Structure 1
Amino acid sequence: MIHEDCELSGNTAENSSAKSMEQLIIRPLRLAEYNSVSQAMRLFTDTRSTETADEIWLIEHKPVYTLGQAAKLEHVLNPGAIPIEKTDRGGQVTYHGPGQLVVYPLLNLRRLNLNVRALVTLLEETIIEFLAGYAIHAQARKNAPGVYVNGAKIASIGLRIRRGFCYHGIAFNIAMDLKPFLGINPCGFSQLAVTQLSDLGGPSNLGMVADLFSQQLKAKLILQRKKADFPIENSTSTY
């Protein structure tokens, strides 16, 4: 089920802080403008404490191109009527739109015993394992993080780490119009092919995919809790 443009309370982090540190809250899929969600993520991160429960937000964005902190305008080729928004995540330019599952893991990395590289690997592995459930063989790349199927990108990862807390996350192509990707060099790569789950024989129901994928990610994060501790630094990560 998609909830249209319902706003997150500015007290989300405050309310969550009373919950158990072991809890991980999954917010249901909703359709939303990029800016409102971006502002809510920053507010959550700025106001959360070390005891605030982690959350996973499931979003379907209205059409938008977003520019990460490393983005160059030369990679925006022909945006047409699609708005362009600057953001504080790492990375270059990408497209979000209906039919794409955007997953924002708002995590306390110290509590999860994760550094940024380990987090990216965990997110990539979760996507790869999810795709394998539909007999889709996918890979990650060291020089261009994200997930690829036969050289075409199916999922992008863009993160921001501040005070040991992570926000931004995954853009996973499910059943969308891929034409807007032709208006940019996705992730700064000229003529990078993109693909999506429904074109590869997977499901096209975004709500179903959101439910299944978020539960798989939650299980992966719970398993991660007992791994070795890593130092966390404030950083912008380019993925």
Structure 2
Amino acid sequence: MHSSSVLPPLVIRTLGHMDYLATWQAMQAYTLSRTEESADELWLTEHAPVYTLGLNRREVRPPSRQDIPLIEVDRGGKITYHGPGQVIIYALIDLQRLGISVRSLVSMMENSIIELLAEYNIPAQARADAPGVYVHDAKIASLGLRLKHQRSYHGLALNIDMDLAPFLAIDPCGYQGLQVTQTRDLGLTLTPEDAAQQLLDKLSRQLGYTRAIVRHSL
């Protein structure tokens, strides 16, 4: 594991509402143009309603509603939904430089969410068979990553205060009948902004960073 003192500071980008396709293309471009000196980055954003279908497309039922676009993407996993009121953090991390595996990065993301919910007395768990975070068997956060040259992109989506109905039109992450929940339905009066800030802090620490530079655009 490298000492954080020799790493460039983590860059946190708070991007506000972003077009999904443009964000995905920007993640790909950053990952492909990175050098050994490039900073790791966390991108905080929110998307208009969109279904995304990962690389594991076998036996995935298409959405039963056509009013929300479906985009085939290059992350792992199957189908999920993104929409307003969901905290999305994309993790653009050089795994080799940090000396971590992709499984470790997934665990760091899951543990950051579990730690956040635990502070509000909500017990949450990760599952070995289905990446993500669950509260009483209902999924509250989804995860999906892509690696190029041991550098990651894509990331996590935590449901805070959103319309969950679009999840009913799909088998979330490929699981028929999987229940989905959010912090609002668990009695938390947590805004997406507050949840995002707390989650960014926790994930930064999980990654071993003590310094971060905040930027508000790409």
TM over 0.5: yes
Name 2:133's counterpart in structure 1.
147
| Higher RCO (Cα < 8 Å, 6 or more apart) | 2
Output the amino acid matched with 1:199: D
Q: CA–CA distance in 2 between the matches of 1:22 and 1:199?
A: 39
Shift of 1:101: 0.7
Q: 2:25 aligns with which of 39, 42, 55?
A: 39
Indicate conservation of the 8 Å contact 1:21/1:52, yes or no.
Answer: no
Q: 2:12 aligns with which of 18, 26, 43?
A: 26
Q: CA–CA distance in 2 between the matches of 1:54 and 1:106?
A: 6
Name 1:137's counterpart in structure 2.
123
Shift of 1:21: 2.7
Q: CA–CA distance in 2 between the matches of 1:139 and 1:212?
A: 18
Shift of 1:145: 1.3
Q: CA–CA distance in 2 between the matches of 1:195 and 1:64?
A: 18
Show structure 2 runs of 5+ residues with no match. Answer: 1-5, 211-218
Q: Per the alignment, in what secondary structure is the counterpart of residue 159 of structure 1?
A: strand
Shift of 1:126: 1.1
CA RMSD of aligned residues (A): 1.5
Name 1:190's counterpart in structure 2.
176
Q: CA–CA distance in 2 between the matches of 1:219 and 1:203?
A: 25
Alignment deviations for residues 156-180 of structure 1 (CA, whole Å, 9 cap, x no partner): 1100011010000001101000000
Q: CA–CA distance in 2 between the matches of 1:183 and 1:109?
A: 35
Shift of 1:76: 1.9
Shift of 1:74: 4.1
Indicate conservation of the 8 Å contact 1:104/1:169, yes or no.
Answer: yes
Name 1:79's counterpart in structure 2.
65
State the 4+ residue runs in structure 1 displaced beyond 4 angstroms.
none
Please say if 1:221 is aligned against 2:193: no
Name 1:180's counterpart in structure 2.
166
State the TM-score, normalized to the length of structure 2. 0.90
Aligned length: 205
Show structure 1 runs of 5+ residues with no match. Answer: 1-19, 225-239
Shift of 1:22: 3.2
Name 2:213's counterpart in structure 1.
none
Q: 1:199 aligns with which of 161, 185, 189?
A: 185
Output the amino acid matched with 2:197: D
State the TM-score, normalized to the length of structure 1. 0.82
| Alpha-carbon distance change, 73 to 84 in structure 1, aligned in 2, over 3 angstroms | farther
Output the amino acid matched with 2:112: T
Indicate conservation of the 8 Å contact 2:60/2:78, yes or no.
Answer: no
